[in-house]
Structure 1
């Protein structure tokens, strides 16, 4: 049983998520359930990745729905809730006719890569590459690839599949294997440090009981079929 001071929940929490990304939509449903079980009032707004980061680091917003581990090492004024609650795959997409075989980040060194601006897992994957172009969203990224302006688009597996499906881009396919599978964490601005152990304990409780698997399955069922339809 969790216990906490009433004053902890004196104000509602206002989170941001990165707009247009499937894993962010799924994460928003999961973290909403976590907060609801703690009786914490929650709102979530979408932002471009870099704007979301700025809003939380500056304290304008209270936290981010989910980000990779390295986000907490690079961004000031945020605290990572220690237990991850979701995962993503970093995967390369390319024109089917190109017959590329990309199984590691090193394999991308000779190619032109496009990614979404402000998304940390693809920022990290492309940090050592010299020919990288960043665009505002997944739709622009895949159109950029389809037009032959890049050789590889780098994103989360589900987001990439949903985007090429939505845009009816039959010339693009996913590489056979992901480049990485990364844990995803909830982040709060440091002024909410008192909430971190409370939220972490609830996430651990849900994982231990098996309920988190059900929450994730429900969230994925609500988002993925619609995105791939």
Structure 2
């Protein structure tokens, strides 16, 4: 083998190693629109980490803004999307993801306000109000845009509640678990939750089709976790 052939071979090996992510084969990377400080991010990671661990896999969550998390998963740049509603693929015209059929968690979205507002008839009563939603929450964003006077989509729930406290919007739509700011810096703000919840949605994890054989295994692990008490114990320990 002459020096030119050896050089080409070494260069090829270097190129491959420099362009391939340094992630072990037993690691799953799921993109998510959730930000790390959110309670539902922590629940998602805790539950799915255990489900993948039972299959010999390490889980990494990769936060990405808005719908980019879903698109990156559909293109195979991540191994899937960690936290989405049923029907999201049809809504967005995506074809490369498979829904793990076992429910990961159920999310209850409430409206929050400083004013005395009644929303007993649900979304249709938003027509007189301006609303702040979390960027990337597809169902909630679409519903708010369909009914509210005006909608601001922002990157964090903290931004949502800050806008509400400053009078820049009339309402915020968020889960109870993501309203922790009301226990700290906004505890005297007068912001309160409006009953009943606007929606209660089951949440699922999606995997890229290259992991199709893993889908039923993760579903079985989630079912087993619920049966053996692990699921409830893990959620209770999330801070």
Say whether the fold is shared (TM-score over 0.5): yes
For residue 11 of structure 1, report the CA deviation from its aligned partner: 4.1
For residue 89 of structure 1, report the CA deviation from its aligned partner: 0.4
Contact 1:72 1:80 in 2 (8 A): no
Question: TM-score scaled to structure 1, two decimals?
Answer: 0.83
What pairs with 1:15-34 in structure 2 (closer than 5 Å)? 15-17=30-32, 18-19=34-35, 20-34=37-51
For residue 120 of structure 1, report the CA deviation from its aligned partner: 2.1
Deviating above 3 A after TM superposition, structure 1's stretches of 4 or more consecutive aligned residues are 208-211
What pairs with 1:1-229 in structure 2 (closer than 5 Å)? 10-17=25-32, 18-19=34-35, 20-75=37-92, 76=94, 77-95=96-114, 98-103=115-120, 104-129=122-147, 130-159=149-178, 161-168=179-186, 170-218=189-237, 222-223=238-239
Contact 2:49 2:58 in 1 (8 A): no
Bigger drift between 132-141 and 39-48 goes to 39-48
Q: Secondary structure at the match of 1:123?
A: helix
Contact 1:90 1:121 in 2 (8 A): no
In the alignment, the residues of structure 2 paired with residue 100 and residue 31 of structure 1 have an alpha-carbon distance, to the nearest angstrom, of: 37
Question: TM-score scaled to structure 2, two decimals?
Answer: 0.79
Structure whose CA Rg is larger:
2
